[in-house]
Amino acid sequence: MLMKPYPVVSWLGGSALLFVAAAVLLPLAGPSALDWGHVWQRQEPDWSILTNLRLSRTLLGLFAGGALALAGSLFQSMLRDALATPYTLGVSTAASLGAVIAIAFDWHMVAGVVGIWAGALTGAGLILLVVMGAATRGGQLSSSSLLLAGIAINSVCAALILLVHGLTGMSQSFAISRWLIGGLDAIERPTLLIYVAAVVGTGLLIVRQGRQWNLLAVGEAWAATRGAQVRRALVQGYLAGSILAAATVALTGPIGFVGLVVPHLLRARLGGDDRLLMPCAFLLGGVLLASCDALGRVLLAPAEIPAGAITAFIGGPHLIWVVRRGGTR
């Protein structure tokens, strides 16, 4: 008898356990030592530092890392491209462009929303339509046309970021550079809740369709003649991945490599079944980013290394390794 798919329970359970452990333990790490007696009695400032600053930052890291890793594995399957990341299809670069413009023009608040977030989401939304329009030909949408349109738009947005960056003054320029590295900051609870709800909702929609992504990973004709609706799947996947990437970039800046490294490492261990790979990538991607951030808080304390820089230190060498092996897929 063919094997029941995989050690689903142990992998999912283990990943979930690590996720929860990270949420509990990582807030304990930080540049200033907390007085546990004060925390226990909910005395300030220790209580606020733990719950408002460190816990919210850890949760943001967990869900942002999860969103990026999930979007990465989605795009790798959907586009049949081992090097696809949440940033491949242009949406995140467009979100960055929106945010950079908001920083350059000092838009602190736009219509009651933090200017950077508003800029990022607007940029992402506009580019979504542009890429989708550019990739559709005669009512047909294919992953290769999506990939080409995405890469083209990506480079245009990257060029515009450089242009805006070059034209701004000293202080904005510094803020832009810092934002473009990507990092985690404590955010207010209502924002965090909205973000977590969006990520979990979108994530569940993606993971539920795991069999569909498996089929697309083999090929579009293959998926279509096994009974999948390819066009609908591509639109769904593109929209869902873009929501994850844009919302995350708006809050954290373009944190690199989590979306590439985590799915790759897991695929080598677990095989390419997205039904198991995707939830594990989400949970462990979150653990990786939150851990990188905690590391950045304590490594050179009291100075902070942004999480985006740490993930790049890990991700860069990994990318070289992947390329030298000729891709793991």
E strands along 147-301, which residues?
none
Please count the residues of the chain: 329
Binding other proteins (rule: CB under 8 A), the pick from 273, 309, 313, 314 is: 273
Greatest pairwise CA separation for the chain in angstroms: 68
Question: Quick one: which segment of 64-72, 90-98, 213-221, 301-309 binds other proteins (CB under 8 A)?
Answer: 213-221
275 binds other proteins (CB under 8 A): yes
30-89 binders of other proteins (CB under 8 A): 80
111 binds other proteins (CB under 8 A): no
Closest distance of CB 50 from other proteins, Å: 39
Question: What's the first-to-final CA gap in the chain, in angstroms?
Answer: 27
Closest distance of CB 218 from other proteins, Å: 6
Closest distance of CB 18 from other proteins, Å: 23
9 binds other proteins (CB under 8 A): no
Question: Quick one: which segment of 42-50, 91-99, 114-122, 222-230 binds other proteins (CB under 8 A)?
Answer: 222-230
CA separation for the pair 29, 20 (Å, rounded): 15
| Closest of 288, 282, 284, 281 to residue 267, by C-alpha | 281
CA separation for the pair 6, 29 (Å, rounded): 35
The backbone torsions φ and ψ at residue 257, rounded to the nearest 5 degrees and listed phi first, read: 75, -25
211 binds other proteins (CB under 8 A): yes
Closest distance of CB 224 from other proteins, Å: 6
Contact 277, 267 (CB under 8 A): yes
Binding other proteins (rule: CB under 8 A), the pick from 227, 302, 303, 324 is: 227
Closest distance of CB 271 from other proteins, Å: 6
155 binds other proteins (CB under 8 A): no
214 binds other proteins (CB under 8 A): yes
| Total binding residues toward other proteins, as defined by CB under 8 A | 31
271 binds other proteins (CB under 8 A): yes
Q: Which is nearer to other proteins, 4 or 324 (CB)?
A: 4
Binding other proteins (rule: CB under 8 A), the pick from 222, 299, 317, 320 is: 222
Instruction: Please list, in sequence order, all residues whose beta carbon lies within 8 angstroms of the beta carbon of residue 305, skipping any fewer than 6 positions away.
Output: 295, 296, 299
Structure tokens that stand for 299 in this block = 């490594």
Contact 9, 1 (CB under 8 A): no
Instruction: Please list, in sequence order, all residues whose beta carbon lies within 8 angstroms of the beta carbon of residue 160, skipping any fewer than 6 positions away.
Output: 97
DSSP string, 133-164: HHH-BTTB--HHHHHHHHHHHHHHHHHHHHHH
CA distances 276 to 128, 199, 227, 315, Å, are 28, 18, 21, 23
Closest distance of CB 202 from other proteins, Å: 18
> Per-residue x/- mask for other proteins, residues 229 to 268, rule CB under 8 A?
x-------------------------------------xx
CA distances 90 to 80, 86, 149, 235, Å, are 17, 9, 8, 15
Question: Quick one: which segment of 125-133, 167-175, 236-244, 270-278 binds other proteins (CB under 8 A)?
Answer: 270-278
Closest distance of CB 104 from other proteins, Å: 43
Binding other proteins (rule: CB under 8 A), the pick from 41, 159, 226, 321 is: 226
Residues engaged in binding other proteins (CB under 8 A) = 1-5, 80, 208, 210-211, 214-215, 217-219, 221-222, 224-229, 267-268, 271-273, 275, 327-329
